[in-house]
Structure 1
């Protein structure tokens, strides 16, 4: 349960100050776990604390906080107060955010008690503490077509555990409103060669030749995981061509092709859901052959 300073920086840069709704604690059944946050502006939102009456009421309060700047702590029994059948209760901390917070982020959110001893995430005596998120799992998506866009839509909200970077050959291949880090590079394989060996790659470009070049670059550079969109026939041809480029069979076998879950079908969103499921179920280096 940590604060995503990078997401706060990006949200401020994109849309200016906002009200942050943080689930500081839960009791019994609740829509989302402690540590979940969403951002609220006058005309938009980002993220969710679980929807329903809880979220609608929290957004109303958040816009009040956005206007007056005073933090609020709201303790909400979901059944009696909101008519939800979860049966539990949540404690929300709602604050106006105008700058990236420090690490650790310790601040008074209600009352006037002196600061208690706080270690780790938590709300105590009106004081809240959060620590910065650890290093995210970096996933590069190569290609901004239908599957690339679906992958970004599914994976980007999983920050801070996952951090997406999106690449293609020209700026006009991206949607006009891009919510993740992205760049256009005429030589994508050269760009991949600059990535960390601990990064993961999903190769879904418009060109089989470019896909092959990216696979070659990934095998040359090293990676945590590499997935390629394609059929069994495409992958058989790629294995042969990658071997001709000097890669041994055991290295080539580390590339997963096809990506996704065949049982879900070939719709871009279905592929993205299968990929996300595999990434979440198989942390870090154990992900190969699971998506």
Structure 2
């Protein structure tokens, strides 16, 4: 379960929402078990994929909210009934969430890392996996739904100009990522999507970042870019990229070496970034950076490798 923060924000905004999660799959399906979306009367976020499947599920979720029902289970074959060619089948669990329900989930997940709940009437005792812990993201067993709390990979974007803002808005909807956007200019951080965490200074964002974070340096100030690279090379990080030309990077390498960093350390920062075949428009640069980031081994979510 990666959408707990999204769930909290949606409930705070709407009062009550319906969450649709793929509890189990069989055969070819658009998304894997664990994919989820949030639905409210006049909107939705997230995706379970499948076009018609998602449309029908959203309708069922809104009906659940209207009827005041707490839980509903849908077993759906993705064949002639939906006019889809996948040929597989899914079990969908739709649950109503209000503030109390969200905090119940959050408390359980914080304590054990798992949230096991009885979904279907007549289900027996919790399965052994609920008592011993599970490795799967989502487990559907004998009328019980068990979800494991999964961390989001932190991505810190230093600079909220055209490229930084475009990149943040591309990455923020992905449930696997937690995006922070940092800039010294307060006006650049206005009207951001709720899923993006703002920071008022790139150096503070770097200092606060987890050791596993990916950093993308795209500020408007070359001196700040250099200082960020210098500070970054003195601490752990997963990967890092710097916007700029080959000439800029050659000068930065010299300056970073003069600051005491070895060639091996400096080479951990990628520069230039993006895909030159896509062009130099800010959105094109952001698209190339996002594509490269999502190819990193630690970010290859299982359901990105399955299509229907």
Matched, 1:110 2:120: yes
CA distance change for structure 1 residues 127 and 197 in 2, over 3 Å: closer, same or farther? closer
Which consecutive segments of 4 or more residues in structure 1 shift more than 6 A? Answer: none
Query: 1:189 pairs with 190, 193, 203, which one?
Result: 203
Question: Does the aligned pair in 1 maintain the 2:71–2:94 contact within 8 Å?
Answer: yes
Alpha-carbon separation, structure 2, partners of 1:222 and 1:116: 41
Cα deviation, residue 269, structure 1: 3.3
Larger RCO: 1 or 2 (CA < 8 Å, sep 6+): 2
Q: What secondary structure sits across from 1:197 in the alignment?
A: coil
Question: Does the aligned pair in 1 maintain the 2:39–2:62 contact within 8 Å?
Answer: yes
User: TM-score, normalised on structure 2?
Assistant: 0.82
Cα deviation, residue 175, structure 1: 4.2
Instruction: Tell me what 2:146 maps to.
Output: 129
CA distance change for structure 1 residues 113 and 136 in 2, over 3 Å: closer, same or farther? closer
Map Cα deviations across residues 170-207 of structure 1 (whole Å, 9 max, x no partner): 3320241422342342x532442333333221011122
Q: What secondary structure sits across from 1:39 in the alignment?
A: strand
Question: Does the aligned pair in 1 maintain the 2:160–2:188 contact within 8 Å?
Answer: yes
Question: Does the aligned pair in 2 maintain the 1:165–1:182 contact within 8 Å?
Answer: yes
Instruction: Tell me what 2:174 maps to.
Output: 158
Structure 1 residue runs of 5 or longer lacking an equivalent are 286-291
RMSD between superposed Cα atoms in Å = 2.3
Matched, 1:249 2:248: no
Query: 1:140 pairs with 156, 162, 166, which one?
Result: 156
Alpha-carbon separation, structure 2, partners of 1:193 and 1:105: 32
Matched, 1:273 2:287: yes
Alpha-carbon separation, structure 1, partners of 2:298 and 2:27: 31
Map Cα deviations across residues 253-281 of structure 1 (whole Å, 9 max, x no partner): 21101112223333333333332333333
User: TM-score, normalised on structure 1?
Assistant: 0.87
CA distance change for structure 1 residues 118 and 56 in 2, over 3 Å: closer, same or farther? farther
Instruction: Tell me what 2:304 maps to.
Output: none
Q: What secondary structure sits across from 1:164 in the alignment?
A: strand
Question: Does the aligned pair in 2 maintain the 1:193–1:221 contact within 8 Å?
Answer: no
Alpha-carbon separation, structure 2, partners of 1:117 and 1:266: 54
CA distance change for structure 1 residues 3 and 126 in 2, over 3 Å: closer, same or farther? farther
Matched, 1:180 2:195: yes
Instruction: Tell me what 1:235 maps to.
Output: 249
Structure 2 residue runs of 5 or longer lacking an equivalent are 300-308
Alpha-carbon separation, structure 2, partners of 1:130 and 1:283: 23
Alpha-carbon separation, structure 1, partners of 2:193 and 2:248: 30
Instruction: Tell me what 1:20 maps to.
Output: 19
